[in-house]
Structure 1
Amino acid sequence: MAPRKIALLTDSCADLSPQLAEENHIHVVPLRIRCADGEYRDGVDISAADIYRRLRSGELPKTSLPTGEDIEALFDRLAAEGYDGVIAVMLSGGLSGTYNLTRLLAQERKDLEIKVYDSVSGSLGVGITMLQLAEDLRAGASWRELTKKRVPQLIENTYPFFSVDTLEYLQKGGRIGKITAMAGTMLQIKPLLGFAPDGQLQSVAKVRGRRQVQDKLIDLAVKACGSHRKYNLAVANGGAPEEMAELKEKLKQALPDYDHIWEGELDGTLSVYIGDGVLGAGVQVLD
């Protein structure tokens, strides 16, 4: 029997505002952040702004997976609310063990059919996948259609790009992955990052100075979109809301035929590795 009542699940690195998550019935499990004064739940009792403050004062928080209890409790709640199917799309397995932990716990459930996917992405790359799935569910998409076709298609055709102000925290946190650490501070070189096929971060471009960041992000999004006619757009920021608003207008002009344009703010977990002053743009190809 295919599940009839389907829940959507992701983690706090999907960068969905509580309001967007609630409106779209998306359930979010928080990653954990260990700070000098204790452990916090990302997006619940700690935010990106707290992380920026700590980084500036020289503290280097550590991130950790959601607890098994948090994930179990969420599964219990979904079962109690009458769901029999769960589609979970989690932060890239190349950056975190969250996907793997969720997958292992999902296998133990007899009361729910749970399909867990590695997003091979992060931040709004995951967020807009969840928002589009919520849309598909509202439009009456079936379990089979979603799990066999739609989710894999969205994961494969979602392209998020980010600028970071410094690679210092990625290096210190051991998440530098495929990024070449550039001696860029003196030259104001700003790296732009995307996700490699294995879900690690990789350098996709570099520009000189913050002014060029927005144009390059738009170039990358336009290139990723190619000649496709049906697509969603997204913008994100970490501590740079004014610049994000500018970026959003430019992106709309460059790719005016979008179905949706969504925006988000970076979570605490990813902020531990990339600091503030972050801008992101993404495109999700639908056709």
Structure 2
Amino acid sequence: MRVAVVTDSTCDLSTSAARRLGLVIVPLRLSLVGGGALSPDDPAPVYAYQRAGGRVTTAPPGPEAFAARYARLLRGCDAVLSVHLSGALSQTVGQAREAAAGFGERVRVVDSGVASVALAEAALRARAALDAGADLDAAEAAVARARTHGLTQFTVPTLDYLRLGGRLGRVQRFVGNMLDVRPVLGFGEGRLRPLRRVRTDQALAEMLLSLEDRYGSAPLHLTVAHAGADPAALLELRAAALRSRLRVVGGRAQLIGGVIGAHVGPGLYGLGACPADL
């Protein structure tokens, strides 16, 4: 059975990178407050606008956008597995489900419970399962395993952008007014959760140590990610990860895309790990 795997631009893969990996991207809408629309594929204008004091907003694709993409894919495939960012963070998965209702069992929509590099890993695990001969149930189970056994952590230099987007809550109370401290954040129950507080200059080392404690010598797929259109910073993160005791056998280095960047701002960086042998 030929199955297309669809995800959205919050996976932080560009459209061309996703295509090379066997995924199809349905983009969220990205707009400058007081300006015009932007492409989710190019984060640089987002960060430039934010650094100049501007605000960037996002909106989910409408059901019609999903329906058009599903119809096009089903002309050459038997089914579509559509894997999206957490429904607790966005209406995107709900819009996809509304569109999928018109295609019966040929389109299955899955709430990944995560976003960003964790969403990319979940969609890629589904793709790998299907390529190995799995059916839709087994591919959906691969998404669930990636969520359950994976760990994504990231840190931000400021909470201002998350505050503007209304995505703070417990994170704001957790950090408080402490100076020279960064929050390490992750996903739990589909939402953004504070994991711990660390000194600013120790954040990366602390994140790597937590992954070493959790996974030991298990072979991992590791993704390093940075927001700010700064390839040099991305290379520094990758080098630090490879110097660690983690047994990295696969993974990616990703610049955070414009949609996630609109909510976190420049300077975020993170690590996403998942056992290679799930």
Question: TM-score w.r.t. structure 2 length?
Answer: 0.90
Establish whether residue 29 from structure 1 lines up as the match of residue 29 from structure 2. no
- Return the alpha-carbon distance in structure 2 between the equivalents of residues 49 and 20 of structure 1: 17
Give unpaired runs (5+ residues) of structure 2: none
- Return the alpha-carbon distance in structure 1 between the equivalents of residues 129 and 255 of structure 2: 24
- Return the alpha-carbon distance in structure 1 between the equivalents of residues 265 and 17 of structure 2: 24
Alignment check: 8 A CA contact 1:7 1:26 kept: yes
Q: Tell me the SS of whatever aligns to 1:259.
A: strand
Q: Tell me the SS of whatever aligns to 1:53.
A: helix
Letter aligned with residue 183 of structure 2: P
TM-fit CA distance, 1:275:
0.6
Letter aligned with residue 154 of structure 1: A
Deviations 1:172-231 (A, max 9, x none): 21111431253558x23221110122x11111122222x312102212322343x57243
- Return the alpha-carbon distance in structure 2 between the equivalents of residues 37 and 136 of structure 1: 42
- Equivalent residue, structure 2, for 1:214: 204
Match of 1:170 among 162, 166, 176: 162
Q: Do the aligned partners of residues 254 and 232 (structure 1) sit closer, same or farther apart at CA in structure 2, a change above 3 Å counting?
A: same
Establish whether residue 87 from structure 1 lines up as the match of residue 87 from structure 2. no
Deviations 1:68-114 (A, max 9, x none): 2221221111012x21211111111121111111122112214x622
Q: Tell me the SS of whatever aligns to 1:175.
A: coil
TM-fit CA distance, 1:65:
0.8
- Equivalent residue, structure 1, for 2:186: 194
Establish whether residue 268 from structure 1 lines up as the match of residue 267 from structure 2. no
Alignment check: 8 A CA contact 2:162 2:263 kept: yes
Alignment check: 8 A CA contact 2:14 2:257 kept: no
Q: Do the aligned partners of residues 101 and 21 (structure 1) sit closer, same or farther apart at CA in structure 2, a change above 3 Å counting?
A: same
TM-fit CA distance, 1:238:
0.6
Q: Tell me the SS of whatever aligns to 1:94.
A: coil
Q: Do the aligned partners of residues 76 and 56 (structure 1) sit closer, same or farther apart at CA in structure 2, a change above 3 Å counting?
A: same
Deviations 1:27-66 (A, max 9, x none): 00101122222334422xxx32211111122221221111
Letter aligned with residue 205 of structure 1: R
Alignment check: 8 A CA contact 1:159 1:224 kept: no
Output the aligned Cα RMSD.
Answer: 2.1
Match of 2:64 among 65, 69, 89: 69
Alignment check: 8 A CA contact 2:6 2:83 kept: yes
Question: TM-score w.r.t. structure 1 length?
Answer: 0.87
Give unpaired runs (5+ residues) of structure 1: none
The aligned runs of 1:1-287 (5 Å cut-off) are 4-35=1-32, 36-43=34-41, 47-80=42-75, 82-110=76-104, 113-147=106-140, 149-181=141-173, 182-184=175-177, 187-197=179-189, 199-209=190-200, 211-225=201-215, 227=216, 229-239=218-228, 240-285=230-275, 286-287=277-278
Q: Tell me the SS of whatever aligns to 1:179.
A: helix
* Structure 1 runs of 4+ with >6 Å offset: none
TM-fit CA distance, 1:257:
3.0
Alignment check: 8 A CA contact 2:12 2:260 kept: no
Alignment check: 8 A CA contact 2:146 2:274 kept: yes
- Return the alpha-carbon distance in structure 2 between the equivalents of residues 224 and 118 of structure 1: 25
Identity of aligned residues (%): 28
Q: Tell me the SS of whatever aligns to 1:108.
A: helix
The structure carrying a bigger helix percent of its residues is 2
Letter aligned with residue 237 of structure 1: H
TM-fit CA distance, 1:128:
1.6
Letter aligned with residue 142 of structure 2: R
- Return the alpha-carbon distance in structure 2 between the equivalents of residues 191 and 229 of structure 1: 27
